[in-house]
Amino acid sequence: MVGSSHEALHRIFQKDPGLLTHALQRVLGVPFPEPREIVAMNVDLTEIEPVERRVDTLLRAETDEGTYLLVVESQGKADERKRGSWPYYLSYLYEKYRCEPVLIVITQSSATARWAARPIQLGLRGWESLTVRPLVLGPDNVPVIEDVRDAESDVPLAVLSAMTHGRGRQAPAILESLAAALKTIDRDSAAVFVQFVDSCLVDPQAKQMWRDLMTAIQYFWRHPLAEQVREEGREEGREEGREEGREEGRLQERAEMVLRLLEWRGLTVTESVRERVHACTDLDRLEALAQRAVHVTDAAELFGEE
């Protein structure tokens, strides 16, 4: 079954098709001609009714050098069946549209990227009838964008960086830089990118930290994704059956968010700081502490003005 992270990787190219050709040029060094227009196409490649074949994303790129079909595949793990499917996709599309097909594989796994990058050669060894060379975008070649200025200069690529590298020790800097960069673009595009990143973060801690970060910069709670989270909180409150329980739950959740932000950024959280955060009974005050937690260099600085 197609997961949310798989779906998001393709929705981002449909939202911003230019990101794909930009990634080919900047990440892979492929001299792809500048498109005048990119159009999403039907992904159904079924030719005979009992055999259904679908690509993940299919885009038509019009350039001064001709028309190209960008065949985009998300690959979570190695799958030898693709070694038969991918040549079929390219041959079928060329025959149908008489345009040059380009196979691009997107993955969040280094091992899968190495597997996908191997040429697919059909025919006699040394005299192959068909050779397929996928272009692969993955964690080994998509740049890690940790600097805010780099993220602001190329927000879509920063989004791709977060979606590809959003795990482990490097996740805090990547997500923090992207969060700052999202404030520099229009809200509609930022809202879409917030959802993409949230869908693609497979590490539960990274996903929670992303939501915390969006809350801390007072952006996430304006996003439709937040309604789902708020509804989950309301449901928990209804189960408790009392308004006091809901209020206590909100205070506890916000206090934990402040502490998670500090720990996520690699700061040492002393027991004294932990107790002071949990002792706070003002949601607005906790919101202010969350915003400070994104920028302080020492956990004790949370209360520096007191």
At 248-273, the pLDDT tens digits run 777 887 888 788 878 777 788 888 88
183's tokens = 């404030």
Q: What is the pLDDT of residue 2?
A: 44
Q: Are 54 and 43 in contact (CB under 8 A)?
A: yes
118's tokens = 């191997």
Q: What is the pLDDT of residue 47?
A: 54
Residue 305 pLDDT exceeds 70: no
Residue 225 pLDDT exceeds 60: no
- Reduced to 3 states (helix: H, G, I; strand: E, B; else coil), residue 61 is strand
Cα–Cα distances (Å) from 230 to 225, 246, 248, 277, in that order, read 9, 12, 15, 22
In DSSP terms, which residues pair with 136 in a beta bridge? 105
Q: What is the pLDDT of residue 283?
A: 80
Q: What is the pLDDT of residue 253?
A: 78
Residue 118 pLDDT exceeds 60: yes
Residue 9 pLDDT exceeds 50: yes
Q: Pick the residue with more confidence: 241 or 189?
A: 189
Residue among 224, 215, 179 at smallest CA distance from 197: 179
| The dihedral sign for the CA sequence 198, 202, 206, 209 | positive
Q: Pick the residue with more confidence: 119 or 183?
A: 119
Q: What is the pLDDT of residue 48?
A: 46
The pairing of beta strand 100-106 with beta strand 66-74: parallel
Q: What is the pLDDT of residue 14?
A: 60
Counting Cβ atoms within 10 Å, is residue 237 exposed (0-12), middle (13-18) or buried (19+)? middle
Q: What is the mean pLDDT of residues 63-70?
A: 90
Q: Pick the residue with more confidence: 78 or 7?
A: 78
Q: What is the pLDDT of residue 50?
A: 40
User: Which of 15-29, 42-56, 152-166, 284-298 is least confident?
Assistant: 42-56
Q: Are 63 and 25 in contact (CB under 8 A)?
A: no
Q: Pick the residue with more confidence: 31 or 133?
A: 133
Q: Are 302 and 273 in contact (CB under 8 A)?
A: yes
298-303, long-range: CB within 8 Å, 24+ apart, which pairs?
298/267, 299/262, 299/267, 299/268, 299/269, 299/270, 299/273, 300/270, 300/273, 302/258, 302/262, 302/273, 302/276, 302/277, 303/273, 303/276
Q: What is the pLDDT of residue 221?
A: 44
User: What is the value of pTM for the model shown?
Assistant: 0.59
Eight-state DSSP code of residue 77: S
Proportion of the chain above pLDDT 90, given as a percent: 20
Cα–Cα distances (Å) from 195 to 18, 39, 226, in that order, read 19, 22, 10
Round to whole Å and give the CA distance between 261 and 208. Answer: 10
Q: What is the pLDDT of residue 1?
A: 41
Counting Cβ atoms within 10 Å, is residue 138 exposed (0-12), middle (13-18) or buried (19+)? buried
Residue 294 pLDDT exceeds 90: no
Q: What is the mean pLDDT of residues 175-204?
A: 80
